[in-house]
Structure formats: C-alpha cells, structure tokens
Chains A and B, each alone.
Chain A
Amino acid sequence: STFFLPLPFISVSGDDRERATTGNQREAQAAGNSIKLNATLKMKHILKIMALLVAVAGIWISLLETSVVPHSYTWLLPVYLVVSLGCYGLLMVGIGLMLFPTCPQEASLLQRLL
C-alpha cells in the first residue's frame, strides 16, 4: 500500500520494494521500471517547484527594481516564504499525527502472539 503525505518528496511505498525482492526476474524488472518511473516523476515535480520559485523571485525583484515596493521591504518575501514553509511542514506533521491509523485487531493479534 502507498501512504502519501502531501509533502512533495516524501512517499512510502511498501509494495514497490516487495516486488523488487521477489525471485521472479520479470517481476523484478517491472519493479525496477516502476521505481525509475517514480524517480522521473519526482524529478519533474522538483523542476516544476523550482520553476515556480524562480518565477516568484523574478516577480519580486521586478517589483523592487521598479520602486513599487520600497527597498526596506527587500527581505520580506524570502522570510515570509521560509516561515510559511515551516508552518506548512508543521501542519502536515500535525495532520499526519491526527490521521494516523492504529489497527486494533492487528495489535490484539500481536499481543496474543507475544
């Protein structure tokens, strides 16, 4: 099963790794292909995010240079972006904690095994 938190680069997929460790060669190749596909998709996602960042930086610098925004406000946008990124990370951690599934049946099974 795949468990994907909205944090862009973090995803845990158990079944890809399971498929890669089976002895069957065709399954191993298919697993390798799916891992490669995963990696290229992540690369495109990273490029999209970097392009967005460059666009925002370009807009901010153009606003500064044409004196729409006074120069004392230069560092406002980067600091704001960093603070909002930190808040977003904390929010995702909090939401993940809240939604974390506990499996009471499996827990009681494990207790019985122990």
Chain B
Amino acid sequence: MELADKAVGFLLSAVSLSIFSYYTFWVIILPFVEKDHFVHGYFLPQEYAILIPVFAGVALLSFLCVFVGYVTIKSNKKKKSA
C-alpha cells in the first residue's frame, strides 16, 4: 500500500530532521547562550554531545559485525551439512 510507504517515509524524514536540528542547536548555538538561560535545562551537558553519537556509532558497528558473523557461520554450517 502506498499510504503505508508514504507514512513510513514521512516518519523517517521527520525523525532525521528533528535529530539534525536538535544536534545542531546543541553543538553550535548553545555554547553562545549565557549560562542562566532557561533553554539550558532542555539539553544535556555538552560532554554528552560527543559521547552519545560515538556510543551509538560503536553499537551500530558491533551489531553489524555480529550480524555478518552470524550469517557467515550459519551459511558455513549449511555448506558443511549439505
């Protein structure tokens, strides 16, 4: 169904745009705002701006490696038994 496709596509682009704007605001605009402004309460401390993407990237890479290894082992087992 095209409507489901369009909904998934819209959701995906909305999520990516929100992540991009949040991250840009966090990294680029927030350092120039004074410490007492209320907006600082909505954002985590600045060290997390580097830790979270690195952690997510490492998690993604390890998941990919585990997945590739699992598929390889499964196909090797099938080749051996066949």
Contact = CB atoms under 8 A, between A and B. Distances in A.
Contact of A90 (B5, B13, B27, B54): B13
Interface stretch (B17-25, B37-45, B62-70, B71-79): B17-25
Interface-central residue, A82, A90, A98, A102, by most chain B CB under 10 Å? A98
Main secondary structure of the interface of B (DSSP, over half): helix
B2 interface: yes
A53 to B, nearest CB: 18
Contacts, number: 65
Interface residues of A, number: 20
Interface residues of B, number: 24
Main secondary structure of the interface of A (DSSP, over half): helix
Interface stretch (A36-44, A54-62, A73-81): A73-81
Contacts of B17: 87, 91
Given A75-B50, A102-B2, A84 B20 contact: yes
Interface of B: 2, 5-6, 8-17, 19-20, 23-24, 27-28, 49-50, 53-54, 57
